[in-house]
Amino acid sequence: MKKKSFPKITITKLTAREILDSRGNPTIEVTAFSGKFLAIASVPSGASTGVHEAHELRDGDKKRFLGQGVKKAVHNVESVIFPAIKNISIFDQESIDTTMLEIDGTPTKSKLGANAILGVSLATARLASVVAGIPLYRYLANYYNYKPKALPTVLFNVLNGGKHADSGLDIQEFFLIPKKGDFLNRLNMVHKVIANLKTDLTKRRLSIAVGDEGGVAPRLKSNQAALRILAKAIENSGYKLGRDVGIGMDAAASEFFNTDREVYELRADNKHYKPASIYKMYQRWIRDYKLEVIEDGCAEDDFLGWQQLTKHVGKQTLLVGDDLFVTNPERIQLGLVAGIANATLIKPNQIGTLTETLQAIKLSQKHNYKVVISHRSGETVDDFISDLAVAVNADFMKAGSLSRGERLAKYNRLLKINDELNHH
Ligand code: PGA
Ligand code: ZN
């Protein structure tokens, strides 16, 4: 039988430029054109990056942005990638992505740069949605064979520590998880708890200035004090801890694991834990503060610690692998075999193409691991991840607190998508 032929629509021009991210560091923005249509995508950047992440190409020229420039990545998009993909249909995302992987040829995308590759990958998908005349989340959902229905549950990082602030806390992120009503109502709930949190901090003469992801970053005496102050703000807002608003955290434990001594060093608490026993610390927090989400509770290569943690608290707690899995289907497969964690964090720039990102999500869902779509600490106003989260039926999403425009861009996009879903 003769296959029906669709008109082939290709990228007619591809440009890239350096822009600045939310920390003021250079990052790449890509514009893909097809005739009179165009679409723009930009790439975020992490601070607590996992060692297994794809390579972010930086110029290393100390005279420009302290070596952080991305002019080489810009060059690669315009002069290396464009000639290789210009004859491929924009609707064939997989061919575009695999062609880039082939011309890169390295395991970590170090030749072209994962930032260059991802910029093209995301701009292509967005251009395809523009040409098709449908919103991005619908285009992606159709590509993923899913009919979008609902928004993910959002984890709001309202208190920042670790590498995202100078608060002195070892734990990197503390989440509020509002659970009642629609997304707008949940924003209203978080808004109220943040207001009470700030009132409390101000009374105690603690700072309410914010960290990289928009949450407050007070100098508290211990990690536990952060949990206590959040639980109090929830109750002061008239909500019941756990039932109305839950608490979660991204420990980002790779950052406080001493690999030489094989011990977790929690400076703010003046405590040390061995891989085989760190789960006990979390067990206490689960008991005392109803902690229900723990991301990177153990370090990226501490499989023993992860096994103990999963065995002891994995039934009642969402255990999310971020640095552990780095959105990489191969790393997720290792985790599945080892039986560790029960959720994967998904950050497209950890792996570098949309195709591999979707594979990581599909693999997780196939094995009943929950999916958490995530921003990075260094962000732009690009709201691609909001569309992605809805398109793949992600269980959760995190994009920071209710401050800083690059964080709100994601939440405001979710509001718009929510309206559309309700009126269709
Ligand atoms: P990063 O932090 O973007 O600085 O890596 C986010 C996270 O660890 O989830
Ligand atoms: Zn993380």
**Cα-to-centroid distance, 364 and ligand 1 (Å):** 20
Distance of alpha carbon 312 from alpha carbon 265, whole angstroms: 21
Burial class (CB in 10 A: 0-12, 13-18, 19+), 7: exposed
**Residue 264 pLDDT exceeds 80:** yes
B/e letters for 229-245, b = 16+ CB within 10 Å, e = fewer, are: bbbebbeebebebbebb
Is residue 361 within 8 A of residue 367, CB to CB? The reply is: no
pLDDT band, very low/low/confident/very high, at 382 (cuts 50, 70, 90)? very high
Ligand nearest 162 Cα, by number?
1
What's the pLDDT score for residue 8? 86
The one-character DSSP state at 114 is H
Is the C-beta atom of 252 inside 6 A of ligand 1?
yes
**Residue 48 pLDDT exceeds 80:** yes
Is the C-beta atom of 376 inside 6 A of ligand 1?
yes
Is residue 405 within 8 A of residue 381, CB to CB? The reply is: yes
Our mutation pick for probing the ligand 1 site, out of 322, 380, 396, 410, counting the most ligand atoms within 8 A of Cβ, is 322
**Cα-to-centroid distance, 50 and ligand 1 (Å):** 9
Is the C-beta atom of 250 inside 6 A of ligand 1?
yes
Average pLDDT estimate for 243-250: 98
Positive/negative CA dihedral, 158, 20, 350, 38: positive
Distance of alpha carbon 73 from alpha carbon 30, whole angstroms: 10
| 229 alpha carbon, distance to own chain's centre | 25
Average pLDDT estimate for 312-334: 98
Per cent of the chain over pLDDT 90 is: 98
pLDDT band, very low/low/confident/very high, at 3 (cuts 50, 70, 90)? very low
What's the pLDDT score for residue 1? 43
**Cα-to-centroid distance, 374 and ligand 2 (Å):** 9
CA distances from 173 to 142, 286, 328, 423 (A): 33, 16, 22, 35
**Residue 413 pLDDT exceeds 60:** yes
The order of strands in the sheet holding 13-20 is 13-20, 26-34, 37-42
Dihedral angle at the C-alpha atoms of 33, 34, 37, 42, nearest 10 degrees?
A: -30
Query: What is the helix (H) or strand (E) element at residue 308, kind and residue range?
Result: helix 303-313
**Cα-to-centroid distance, 420 and ligand 1 (Å):** 30
Which listed residue (290, 347, 370, 398) is catalytic? Answer: 347
Which pTM does this prediction carry? Answer: 0.97
Measured CA angle at 344 (ends 257, 394), to 5 deg:
145
Average pLDDT estimate for 113-132: 98
Measured CA angle at 192 (ends 187, 198), to 5 deg:
125
Tens digits of residue pLDDT in 208-239: 999 999 999 999 999 999 999 999 999 999 99
Query: Which residue type occupies 413?
Result: R
User: Is-catalytic flag, 347?
Assistant: yes
What's the pLDDT score for residue 154? 98
Ligand 1 atom nearest the C-alpha of 45 is: 3
**Residue 197 pLDDT exceeds 50:** yes
Helices assigned H by DSSP within 352-404: 354-366, 384-391
Is the C-beta atom of 114 inside 6 A of ligand 1?
no
Is the C-beta atom of 103 inside 6 A of ligand 1?
no
Nearest Cα neighbor of 219 from 402, 237, 196, 229 is 229
What's the pLDDT score for residue 143? 97
Positive/negative CA dihedral, 336, 340, 345, 349: negative
pLDDT band, very low/low/confident/very high, at 2 (cuts 50, 70, 90)? very low
Count CB atoms within 10 A of the CB of residue 275. 21
| Per-residue H/E/C for 140-202 | HHHHCCCCCCCCCEEEEEEEECHHHCCCCCCCCEEEEEECCCCHHHHHHHHHHHHHHHHHHHH
Distance of alpha carbon 216 from alpha carbon 214, whole angstroms: 7
DSSP letters along 40-81, please? EEE--B-SS--TTSPP------TTTGGGT--HHHHHIIIIII
Distance of alpha carbon 89 from alpha carbon 415, whole angstroms: 31
Q: What is the Cβ-side half-sphere exposure of residue 216, based on CA atoms within 13 angstroms?
A: 20
Report the phi/psi class of residue 104: left, alpha or beta, with left for phi > 0 and alpha for psi in -120 to 50.
alpha
Tens digits of residue pLDDT in 17-31: 999 999 999 999 999
Ligand 1 atom nearest the C-alpha of 378 is: 3
User: Is-catalytic flag, 71?
Assistant: no
What's the pLDDT score for residue 424? 72
